[in-house]
Amino acid sequence: MSGSMKDVARRAGVSVATVSHVINGTRVVNPDTKQRVLKAIEGLNYVPNAAAKSLKSKESKTIKIILPKEGYLYQKEMHFALIDGMMSFWNGKRYSISLHQINYENEEEYSEVFLHTVDGMIVFSPTHELYHAISQRNVKIPCVILNYRPEDEEDGNFVEINHFHTMYHEVVKLLKKECHYIGYLENTDASRMNEECKDAYKDAFLQNKVSIVSELMKSIPASSEGGYEVAKSWLENKQVDAIICNDEQISLGVIRYLLEKQLDIPTIFYTNGTWGKLYEHGETIKIPCDTIALQTSEMLYQLLSKKDEDITNYQFRTEIVKTESPMYSLDKANQYIEEHRVSNASKWRQSYHIVPLVGWLNDPNGLVQFKDEYHVFYQYHPFGAEWGPMHWGHAMSKDLVHWEHLPVALAPDQLYEKGCFSGSAIENGDELILYYTAHDDSNKMKEVQCMATSKDGIHFEKKENNPIIKNISGEAAEDFRDPKVWKHGDEWYMIIGTSKNQDGRAVLYNSPNGMKWDFKSVVTTSNGILGDFWECPDLFALDNIHVLMVSSMDLKGAKNVFLIGDFDYNTGVFKKNSVRPIDHGRDFYAGQTFMDKQGRRVLIGWMNRWGESIPTQKEGWAGSLTIPREVKADKEGFIRILPVQELALLREEKMEINLDSVCNTLLPVNIKGNALEIVCEFELGKQVPDIFGLHVRKSKKGDEYSEIRYHVQKQELIMDLHNSGKIDKKESIAKVSLIGGKILKLHMFIDKSSIELFANDGSVSITNRIYPKESSVHVDIFAENGEVLINHLTAWKMKNIW
């Protein structure tokens, strides 16, 4: 992987402008510095992009960016983010960017602005002097001035970063949460930005008719100690119930105090989005650098298309940048689905499994029986058959097998989320609560836990005080997601998947009411053997054993496993005794369970996994959930996973085969269909065969089929997909011993693009997606080098529930 120009600048400890000078020879650079830059370029394997290289050639189309040499850390970081955005815009238009850092206080350096032949210019935050120097020169270069407000508003040509707008909304949000004592801390130097933020703060109080306590607004020099001391005095005297800061150093001090005292009050940091450490600990209001960069560049681009003579009075343009409104909403998603539903007649469209109406589905979420209905939510991207900004799709059923689609339940429509990631549901009186991870990867990745509630189980309202859990445990990495919530006694518990030092772990929070949560414990870790990162954890009891269920793509073999052992509610620690795959197929991931009102532990998984090719994408959809399965411990404490009995409600035409045995042959049987349930029992004959089994979804010619075979010697049950249709997936193998040394019971659910196979009363299962021809609907039975008795063989055509 190669780094960017910005990475080079960071590594060499110089500005992006210096890197540009070294690459393009536009300035003499101190030899040591140059050496550092060249080393960084080499170390990062940075290939100066075409635009940067073409700066050397006279024909290049070039945009000059002028920015100040001096600046606060805050400002520099914002400039990096803005330049990044501009570079990608202009590179896309095949323009080069030439960066010039000048000392805005030194008028002699202004000549730099007019030195080169360039097509257009963007000037960052000029001083009044610089602005006047540019406007008076009348150089006829299309120019956009960024972040500047002229004293005399008469021409008012600038792109203004609207600190006021961004801050105002955050303060109003706090006031609405009943935080009326909001400490406001700024650094004494940050002048104009401070004024705007402060105005917004005051205005928010005024508009909401809350009086301001003026002692709670403080300007202090930028230092972490300063932040610490002020936070300490405010909080010791109980003067504030929230804190806002617009300086990184000060914010770090505030956070240090809060962490030391384990205090959890709303904290807001005004930032351009790169104050990494703060992300874990508080809310950040992000200056929308992407939007600003795009808007400034587009403006300039439009100016460039004007003829020279038209430009004189159009050198500058005016616009105020506002925070983006969210791109996604429930309405947008539901309308899209309505207009783009995939036909159920498509070749691989499932008949009785939950699949999305259109678009992409992954993990099952929020499995619950609420009032009398079963609800299944799922990770959903309606707008394309590939993974994208996550919504929660929703289906409901009265009997766990006849499902109906409901409107999308959650859309990433809040400023704190770019995706609503996996989570769970719980019935609380007459309310249904969803817990989910708000995922934001727009800058440094950030994951926090949120909740939404509903009275009717269909329309959900996200809570005002979201996020309810921020990642402050110190026991978790940035990946911190998939909350599974349950009640035990009077307490509520939430288990979350994460990692530390690239080792998977699950952490536990508890709460007296489901609203306010405290970190309790690290439940257990992968300890170097069970994956680098855990997703979708679930913890439950089966009689007197405890099961911790985790998914990790880094696991060898099955990616979703049960850790079986003991869990102690006092310490919050799980002690593992053994580990077993939940399913031996390739397509079982991110399983989740719930306890229904009959006391059954029901499990549903995502019947795919990351990184595989999914031919249904061509049909405009991807992803299926498994059938619901019941998880039980038998008398010996052995866990069995069985299809729920309600699946029998989907049986239609019955096909019973009267066949005593097969010996050394392959025999077509009179079962036909692409959506079938098959139940059969084999028994070893006198002459024990090497292998025996069935072919399902077999073509008439016999060239396509999925083979289910038992290898007697090896005691292996195999689902062999070498010939099963589009994309081979080789084979999935499970160790199974025959009952009484001679009997194999199979129970199979076949749908238009899947096979779920259960053996010997749920002691193992194998689940795989297959993509056969539509006409491959035949079944046959075989035994090689011996005889197998068929104690019974029955099949049913399954209903199409959609």
With respect to ligand FRU, which residue has the nearer C-beta, 497 or 685? 497
Strand order of the β-sheet with 629-633 is: 589-595, 601-606, 629-633, 639-643
Binding residue (CB under 6 A) for ligand FRU from 379, 499, 754, 767: 379
With respect to ligand FRU, which residue has the nearer C-beta, 12 or 536? 536
Place of tokens 């097509």: 119
Asked if 482 touches ligand FRU (CB under 6 A), the answer is yes
With respect to ligand FRU, which residue has the nearer C-beta, 476 or 536? 536
Contact string 568-607 vs ligand FRU (x = CB under 6 A): ---------------------xx-----------------
Asked if 707 touches ligand FRU (CB under 6 A), the answer is no
Helix (H, G, I), strand (E, B) or coil at 89: helix
CA distance linking residue 205 with residue 694, whole number of Å: 73
Q: Calculate the alpha carbon distances from 400 to 74, 368, 557, 765 in Å.
A: 54, 11, 30, 20
- List residues bridging with 219 in a β-sheet: 186
DSSP single-letter state for residue 290 = H
Binding residue (CB under 6 A) for ligand FRU from 421, 435, 588, 621: 421
Binding residue (CB under 6 A) for ligand FRU from 79, 173, 281, 481: 481
Of 778, 784, 785, nearest in space to 703 by CA = 778
The minimum distance between CB 507 and ligand FRU, in angstroms, equals: 14
The minimum distance between CB 435 and ligand FRU, in angstroms, equals: 12
Residue 770 backbone dihedrals phi, psi, to 5 degrees: -135, 155
With respect to ligand FRU, which residue has the nearer C-beta, 194 or 526? 526
CA distance linking residue 502 with residue 152, whole number of Å: 56
With respect to ligand FRU, which residue has the nearer C-beta, 288 or 419? 419
With respect to ligand FRU, which residue has the nearer C-beta, 120 or 623? 623
- List residues bridging with 746 in a β-sheet: 680, 759
**Residue 266 near residue 177 (C-beta atoms within 8 A):** yes
**Residue 601 near residue 627 (C-beta atoms within 8 A):** no
Helix (H, G, I), strand (E, B) or coil at 567: strand
Choose, from 363, 440, 503, 538, the residue flagged as catalytic. 363
Binding residue (CB under 6 A) for ligand FRU from 18, 166, 274, 362: 362
The minimum distance between CB 279 and ligand FRU, in angstroms, equals: 18
Amino acid letter, residue 48: P
Q: CA triplet 17, 18, 24: central angle to 5 degrees?
A: 90
Q: Calculate the alpha carbon distances from 248 to 68, 124, 227 in Å.
A: 20, 21, 10
**Residue 135 near residue 121 (C-beta atoms within 8 A):** no
With respect to ligand FRU, which residue has the nearer C-beta, 536 or 549? 536
Burial of 706 (0-12, 13-18, 19+ CB in 10 A): buried
Site residue total, ligand FRU (CB under 6 A): 13
Q: Where are the alpha helices (DSSP H) in 208-223?
A: none
**Residue 227 near residue 249 (C-beta atoms within 8 A):** yes
Amino acid letter, residue 379: Q
Contact string 48-77 vs ligand FRU (x = CB under 6 A): ------------------------------
CA distance linking residue 408 with residue 337, whole number of Å: 9
Rg, C-alpha atoms of the chain: 32
With respect to ligand FRU, which residue has the nearer C-beta, 437 or 521? 437
Number of H helices, E strands in the chain: 15, 43
The minimum distance between CB 379 and ligand FRU, in angstroms, equals: 4
Contact string 210-229 vs ligand FRU (x = CB under 6 A): --------------------
Residue 520 backbone dihedrals phi, psi, to 5 degrees: -110, -55
- List residues bridging with 567 in a β-sheet: 574
Contact string 665-704 vs ligand FRU (x = CB under 6 A): ----------------------------------------
Helix (H) or strand (E) holding 144, with range, is strand 143-146
**78 CB contacts (<8 Å, ≥6 apart)?**
272, 287, 289
* Tokens found for residue 578: 């053994």
With respect to ligand FRU, which residue has the nearer C-beta, 97 or 604? 604
The minimum distance between CB 643 and ligand FRU, in angstroms, equals: 23
The minimum distance between CB 607 and ligand FRU, in angstroms, equals: 12
The minimum distance between CB 482 and ligand FRU, in angstroms, equals: 5
Contact string 234-273 vs ligand FRU (x = CB under 6 A): ----------------------------------------
**Residue 142 near residue 121 (C-beta atoms within 8 A):** yes
Specify whether 363 is catalytic: yes
With respect to ligand FRU, which residue has the nearer C-beta, 240 or 390? 390
Please report how the helices 191-207 and 163-176 are oriented relative to each other, as an axis angle in degrees rounded to 10. 40
With respect to ligand FRU, which residue has the nearer C-beta, 363 or 587? 363
The minimum distance between CB 438 and ligand FRU, in angstroms, equals: 11
Binding residue (CB under 6 A) for ligand FRU from 81, 130, 376, 390: 390
The minimum distance between CB 478 and ligand FRU, in angstroms, equals: 12
The minimum distance between CB 364 and ligand FRU, in angstroms, equals: 10
Handedness of CA 53, 54, 57, 58 (dihedral sign): negative
The minimum distance between CB 452 and ligand FRU, in angstroms, equals: 15
Of 435, 750, 377, 768, nearest in space to 584 by CA = 768
Binding residue (CB under 6 A) for ligand FRU from 315, 437, 524, 525: 437
Site for ligand FRU in 103-132 (CB under 6 A): none
**Residue 523 near residue 539 (C-beta atoms within 8 A):** yes
Asked if 422 touches ligand FRU (CB under 6 A), the answer is yes
Q: Is the peptide bond before 68 cis (omega within 30 degrees of 0)?
A: no
- Residue length of the chain: 802
With respect to ligand FRU, which residue has the nearer C-beta, 183 or 497? 497
The minimum distance between CB 486 and ligand FRU, in angstroms, equals: 18
CA distance linking residue 696 with residue 599, whole number of Å: 35
Interface positions with ligand FRU (CB under 6 A): 362-363, 379, 390, 421-422, 437, 481-482, 535-536, 589-590
Q: Give the residue numbers annotated as catalytic, written as ranges.
A: 363
